[in-house]
C-alpha cells in the first residue's frame, strides 16, 4: 500500500479553516471528498498544520496511504480536474511507509502580508491586512530580533494540545518592505501598492502565534509600542497577553514545510 504526500495550495477566503467541521466548508473536507470520489477510498489524512478560517496556504502538506498504486503526476492531474478553483494540488510524491505530514516536518514557514494605505485596498482585501501607513520597518525589524531563538511564546498563542508546551524554536523573522510605483500615480513618488511581508521560520507554531507576532510588530511599526515592550513578553507569560492584538486571518499565508530528504532523494542529489 503506497504512501503519498500532497502539497496543496488554497485560497482560504471561503474555507472555515483546514480542519473538518460539521456543516462547514473546509479545505480538508474538500480535498478528502475529491480523493474519495477519485479513488473510492477514505484514508486517514495527516497534515503539516491547521490553517485558520480565512487564512491561505501555498505549501500545505498532506499525507495518506492508498490501496492502489498511482503515478504521482496522474494522481495530481486527476485530483485537480475534480477540485474547485480555490484549491489545487501542486505536487504529489511517494513517501516512506509511516510518513506523517505533521510529526515528520522539520520546520515550517509562514508569511503575513500587510498593505500600507490610508484608504481601502480592493485588490488585496482577500489576502492582506490593510493598515494606515507608513510603518516604521526598521523599528519592526529591531523588535522582531527578540522573537528569534528557543522561547516560551505563551503570550502569543496556545498549544494545539491541552496542556502542551508553548516553547517553540524560531530560526528567523524577516520584515521586508516592497513598494510598486507607477509614472501615472496620482502623486509623484507615492507607491501604487506598498506591502510589508513578515516571514517566520520555526520548528512549529502555536495557535494564533503568527497572527499575534504580526499584531505586535505592527503595533511597534505604528509607534504605539517599543521593541522593549515586545521583548518583555517573551518567556514571561503563561497565557495570551491582552496587550497583543491578533492580526486578521486574511493576511496569513502558510508558505512551506520542510522535511528531511529520503535516502533516494539524497542519492539523486
Could you give the domains of the chain? Answer: 3-103 (3.30.70.580), 107-256 (3.30.70.660)
Judged by DSSP in three states, 252 sits in strand
Residue 266, pLDDT > 70, answer no
- Under the banding of pLDDT at 50, 70 and 90, the label for residue 29 is very high
Q: Is 267 exposed, middle or buried (0-12, 13-18, 19+ CB in 10 A)?
A: exposed
Burial 157-188 (b: 16+ CB within 10 A, else e): bbeeeeeeebebebeebebebeeeeeeeeeee
Q: How many CB atoms lie within 10 A of CB 83?
A: 19
Q: What is the pLDDT of residues 199-228, one digit of tens each?
A: 999 999 999 999 999 999 999 999 999 999
How many helices (H) and strands (E) the chain has is answered by 6, 10
- In whole angstroms, what is the distance from residue 201 CA to residue 1 CA? 34
- In whole angstroms, what is the distance from residue 86 CA to residue 88 CA? 7
- In whole angstroms, what is the distance from residue 260 CA to residue 269 CA? 13
Overall pTM surpassing 0.75 (yes/no) = yes
Residue 22, pLDDT > 60, answer yes
User: Distance between alpha carbon 224 and the CA centroid of its chain, in Å?
Assistant: 26
The pLDDT value recorded for residue 192 is: 74
The pLDDT value recorded for residue 98 is: 93
Report, in this order, helix, strand and coil percent for the chain, each rounded to 5: 25, 30, 45
**From 11, 14, 33, 52, the catalytic residue:** 52
52 is catalytic: yes
Q: What is the pLDDT of residues 239-258, one digit of tens each?
A: 999 999 999 999 999 999 99
User: Which residues, including other chains, have CB under 8 Å from residue 49's CB and lie 6 or more apart?
Assistant: 18, 60, 102, 105, 108, 204, 205, 254, 257
Q: Strand pairing partners for 158?
A: 207
Nearest in space to 198 (alpha carbons), one of 223, 158, 170: 170
The pLDDT value recorded for residue 154 is: 97
Amino acid at each position: 500500500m503506497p504512501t503519498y504526500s500532497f502539497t496543496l495550495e488554497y485560497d482560504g477566503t471561503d474555507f472555515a479553516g483546514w480542519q473538518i467541521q460539521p456543516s462547514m466548508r473546509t479545505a480538508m473536507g474538500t480535498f478528502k471528498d475529491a480523493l474519495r470520489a477519485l479513488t473510492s477510498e477514505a484514508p486517514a489524512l495527516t497534515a503539516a498544520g491547521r490553517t485558520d478560517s480565512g487564512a491561505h496556504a501555498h505549501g500545505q502538506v498532506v499525507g495518506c496511504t492508498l490501496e492502489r498504486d498511482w503515478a504521482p503526476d496522474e494522481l495530481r492531474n486527476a485530483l485537480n480536474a475534480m477540485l474547485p478553483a480555490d484549491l489545487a494540488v501542486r505536487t504529489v510524491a511517494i513517501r516512506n511507509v509511516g510518513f506523517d505530514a505533521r510529526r515528520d516536518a522539520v520546520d515550517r514557514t509562514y508569511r503575513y502580508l500587510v498593505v500600507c494605505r490610508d484608504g481601502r485596498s480592493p485588490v488585496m482585501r482577500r489576502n492582506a491586512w490593510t493598515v494606515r501607513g507608513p510603518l516604521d520597518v526598521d523599528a519592526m525589524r529591531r523588535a522582531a530580533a527578540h522573537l528569534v531563538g528557543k522561547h516560551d511564546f505563551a503570550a502569543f498563542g496556545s498549544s494545539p494540545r491541552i496542556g502542551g508546551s508553548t516553547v517553540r524554536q524560531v530560526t528567523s523573522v524577516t520584515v521586508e518592505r516592497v513598494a510598486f510605483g507607477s509614472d501615472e500615480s496620482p502623486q509623484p513618488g507615492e507607491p501604487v501598492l506598498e506591502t510589508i511581508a513578515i516571514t517566520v521560520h520555526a520548528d512549529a507554531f502555536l495557535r494564533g502565534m503568527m497572527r499575534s507576532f504580526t499584531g505586535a510588530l505592527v503595533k511597534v511599526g505604528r509607534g504605539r509600542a517599543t521593541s522593549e515592550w515586545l521583548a518583555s513578553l517573551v518567556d514571561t507569560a503563561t497565557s495570551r497577553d491582552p496587550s497583543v492584538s491578533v492580526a486578521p486571518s486574511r493576511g496569513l499565508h502558510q508558505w512551506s514545510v520542510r522535511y528531511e530528504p529520503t535516502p533516494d532523494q539524497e542519492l539523486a542529489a
